[in-house]
Amino acid sequence: MTKHQFARVVEEDQKRPDQQPDWLERLRRNFDAEVHLPADISREFLSAALLWAVDNKVDFGLFHEASEIIIAHFGGDEIYLPSRWSDKRWHTGLEDKEPFDPSD
């Protein structure tokens, strides 16, 4: 992963509370894909999913909005990130080979 340093102007953070600062939006736009998880997703599942992504060397950014947690990533890394399967539940990995089962 690459470490970036961002300088920001104080006025950029003085936006409405429901808006992200410009520097954060620019950071998020560096990625070309996103996974939008519900904000109430289990912390156990989220932790396991993020560790799975780190273990598989996925470059990602984690963002939080009022009703969702967003994992921004680069295209091609989808197999290492959470997705909704045919059972309408969130899982990590490919549908036929799941590395983490949240019901265990």
Q: What is the pLDDT of residue 101?
A: 54
- DSSP letter assigned to residue 10: G
Q: DSSP per residue over 12-76, as a string?
A: GG-S-TTS--HHHHHHHHTSSEEEEEETTS-HHHHHHHHHHHHHTT--EEEEEETTEEEEEE-TT
Domain segments of the chain as ranges: 27-90
Q: How far apart are CA 48 and CA 28, in angstroms?
A: 22
Q: What is the pLDDT of residue 100?
A: 52
User: pLDDT of the chain along its 104 residues, tens only?
Assistant: 444 444 444 444 455 555 667 888 888 888 999 999 999 999 999 999 999 999 999 999 999 888 999 999 998 888 899 888 888 889 887 777 655 555 54
5: tokens are 């340093």
Q: What is the pLDDT of residue 21?
A: 75
Q: What is the pLDDT of residue 79?
A: 86
Cα angle, residue 43 at apex, residues 24 and 73 outer, rounded to 5°? 40
Strand, coil or helix: what is 87?
A: coil
- Kindly tell me the burial class for residue 102, based on how many C-beta atoms sit within 10 Å of its own C-beta (0-12, 13-18, 19 or more): middle
Q: What is the pLDDT of residue 19?
A: 60
Q: What is the pLDDT of residue 83?
A: 87
